[in-house]
Structure formats: structure tokens, C-alpha cells
Structure 1
């Protein structure tokens, strides 16, 4: 059985150390060892399945344990937290929240709690969907055009790098290499060059 420790880190070094210290103290009290620490610097606003947390829960086996310092490290929204708790219970992964000494395991009480939380998550999803539909209907009734504007976008994401991209293209650098330098997917760069008609300038004959 593996005991994972998920630390969602920030630029505040003291915060990371506090998380680690709190988890270590909790694990020692509970006799949980050895610990496999996983650090993640992705914001908690990003869906949990797209973070290191999602990888942990996908790879974890039945009976494994996940420890976090506090519930806010799981996610920034109540809905995501509820989804994580439900996933852990259904996959029989033990979840420990150190700061609150909360344990979600395969016990009957935990399964009941997870079921209730799952219902709460479904209700919240319905509320979000309902509010979204109502807001869209209100905007449409007010004459607001919904969806992306028709036609080509006036300003593109890579416009600020246009001069540098043109310079690299003129030097014969491959678009794949330019994309790595700029820090964007190669497909994005190809599309940008196509829209902005960026190509190597012909060298003047001597």
C-alpha cells in the first residue's frame, strides 16, 4: 500500500514548509509510512483531473492513502472537493485531511458521507447549469450576441511576438523550434503564421 502526500505549493516557501510539517506530524501520530510526497505548483482553480492530484488518484490502487494538509489544498471550489471525495470513496482510496483530522475510508460512515456529498455535488451542478442557462437567456433577450464573434479575430495571442517570430523565420529556424522558444504549441504558431502570412523574406540577389 502506498501513502501519497499531495502538496499544492505556491511562491510562499513558508507555506510549503508548514504543509509538510503538518502532514509529517499527522502521519507520525497515525503511524502512516513511508510517505511519497508529490508537489504541484498548478493553481487549485484548474480542474483536479488536470493537476498532479488527478494523476495520483488515477494511479492509486485500492487501499492506498492520500494525505493533504487541509481541504483547501484539494481544490478551490466546493464542487471539485465533493467530486474528489466521491472518487476516493468509490475507488476505495483512503483520504486523510491532516489539519481537521478527517478520514474518508471504506467504513460505512465514510460511504454514507460520500453518498450524501455526491448528491450535494449533483445538486450544485444542477444549480450551476440552471444559473448559466438563465444568464444566457437574459443576455440573449437583451440583444447581446452570444458565442465567438464572426470573422477573423483582430488581435491574436502571438501578436506581441510577431517581430521576433518573423526574425526567426527569416533566419530559417523551424516553426517547431520557434514555438519552443516562444512557449506555445507548434500548432498555434503554424496557425498564427498562416493568418498573419508570415514567411521567410526572399534574400535580395547581389
Structure 2
């Protein structure tokens, strides 16, 4: 199994990867500031569901699926980038009002936003595909070690991303409608910028 020193090194890597804002954190913050912390927390739930699928694929050795993902990565990345840009444009065109009359539908949308963005995020795909195998002890159970390492990442990501959501949600509650409109423009610009960065980043 994984020794403590290796696990602590991996834990530090998880924190470093998660704490740096990327497309996922941008979506969480933008939704939390406009719709409240609940929206951002549903984004977090969606990202964790996506991560759980990634970990399962890696742990149980679905080599054909992994190979297919590698071939489809370019198109997956472009779809994710287009989705971020679309979300940003929606924020640009918003009117500065908070809330949503269809709370159940909005909750589902926020969840799936998180799921889609994490699956189109090169950082997450590279992390699981390249970093985790380096910490696997070949003398132990690869499945159990992968689940442990993947679970560690999920705990770190859930905690830190939730902190982003709660902090941004609290800030959003203090905003006037005019300030909300400024936040929407800023958040939309960040999302569009993140989408362009994702589309132009190298594989």
C-alpha cells in the first residue's frame, strides 16, 4: 500500500491543483455570487460526481474507455470550452436580478454544469491520467490505491471548492442590483476567458 510520506506528498499536490482557480472554480464563484451559495454547492456536487466517474474508470482499468477518451479529448475540450463561453454570454446578457423561479430546474442545471465543466477541464483529466499512477505501489492492490488517491482528491476538492462557493455566496447577498450587474459582467468575462483558454490550450 501507499506509505505515509508518499500520501502526504500526493495530498500536497491535490491542494496545489485544487486551490488554483480554473474553469471549475470560475463557474462555482459566478453562480454563487449571482444565485447564492446553494448554486455553487450544486456545482461542487456535479464536479464531484464527474470526478467519481473518472476515478472509477481509472481504478477498474477500463482501458478501452480511457483510450477512447484520449482520442476524443480534443473534441471534448472544445465542447467544454464552448459551454463555458455560452454561460459567460448568458451572464453578459442578464439583467442583474437574483434568484430563479424554477428552483428545481435550476438545481439540476447547476449540478450538470459542474459535471460537464469538470469533464472538459484538462487539469482534471491530466491529474488523474498522469499523476495518480505515479503514486501506485505495484506490490499492492492498484484498485484500492487508486480509490484511496481519488477519494483523497475528492475530499480536498469538495472542501476547498465549497469554501469558494460559501464565500462567493455571502458576497453576493450583500450586492445591490447594480452591483450584481457588474458581477455578472465580470463573471461572464471570466467564463468567456476561461473557455477561450481551454479551447486554445495545448493537449
Both proteins in one fold, TM over 0.5: no
Q: Which has the higher strand share?
A: 1
Task: Give the alignment's TM-score, normalised by structure 1.
Answer: 0.28
More RCO (CA 8 Å, sep 6+): 2
Task: Give the alignment's TM-score, normalised by structure 2.
Answer: 0.28
Q: Which has the higher helix share?
A: 2
